[in-house]
Structure 1
């Protein structure tokens, strides 16, 4: 897919990653295309799946979510049934913002937000550990965020 991206497509991706709410007219002016050509290219990037979706990034602290944690999770037994059960549960838990399958000594890495430490503890006990396959949870609490981005460097492709 990246073989067919030209400089206009890359420019569209850069600009939309910076501000997904930009109007098509403003986007077309920034990258030097007509509005109709710009819209057609953007639609193509969406239809081919290169653009997964447009989203709003919310400041969780301003919503009162004071705790950000990363939890390393192990499942026992680690098999297809327990994995499907675990992932089905995880996808129903809004506190889990991200879930990654890992290699090594842990099976999953979860990014979790909570209102406070008591809420986080309750979440671990009452939600995450309710799945019988979850055998171990190790938590690292975030003390500060030094860099956070969802930007993918399109010039690298």
Structure 2
């Protein structure tokens, strides 16, 4: 698998452009990176095959879809063993409200970014989904007051 050091300037430029707009055609890319469309096509295909480009997706407007409340939830497991961690990971994978989930070192075991339409939905999510789960001991929520930066683009 390629790593950052193996990517040349053309690959990096293409990746940067595709992060901004994944709908760019190979012709569009060729104009911006000064390579032929066929060279861009081959490079893009290689980046896809190597898993550097994992997929393409649309960025949806959370507010316009009624999912305005962004919640940061920390979770502590009831017991620390592989089986409990697996059960929690399975729960997380099934819940579309969870946008991001990270296992952590330190005081808390996991931190989740969760979107909900309102406070009642957040309360239901915490009290009827997370807390009753056998693997969960403690949940702490924080509601984001303002989004200062939200970006999935990597610094290439």
TM-score relative to the length of structure 2: 0.95
Unaligned runs of 5+ in 2: none
CA RMSD of the aligned region, Å? 0.9
TM-score relative to the length of structure 1: 0.95
State the shift of 1:130 in Å: 2.8
Indicate whether 1:28 and 2:30 are aligned. Answer: yes
Indicate whether 1:67 and 2:66 are aligned. Answer: no
Q: 1:114 corresponds to which residue?
A: 116
The whole-number CA distance in structure 1 between the counterparts of 2:40 and 2:144 is: 40
The whole-number CA distance in structure 2 between the counterparts of 1:31 and 1:43 is: 16
CA displacement 1:16-57 (0-9 Å, x = unmatched): 011111112111111111111101101111111111211111
Q: 2:43 aligns with which of 41, 44, 47?
A: 41
The whole-number CA distance in structure 2 between the counterparts of 1:138 and 1:120 is: 12
Q: 1:129 aligns with which of 127, 131, 134?
A: 131
Equivalent pairs counted in the alignment come to 154
Tell me the SS of whatever aligns to 1:73: strand
Deviates most, 127-136 or 71-80: 127-136
Q: 1:10 aligns with which of 12, 15, 18?
A: 12
Indicate whether 1:141 and 2:143 are aligned. Answer: yes
User: Following superposition, which runs of at least 4 residues in structure 1 exceed 3 angstroms of deviation?
Assistant: none
State the shift of 1:64 in Å: 0.7
Deviates most, 122-131 or 34-43: 122-131
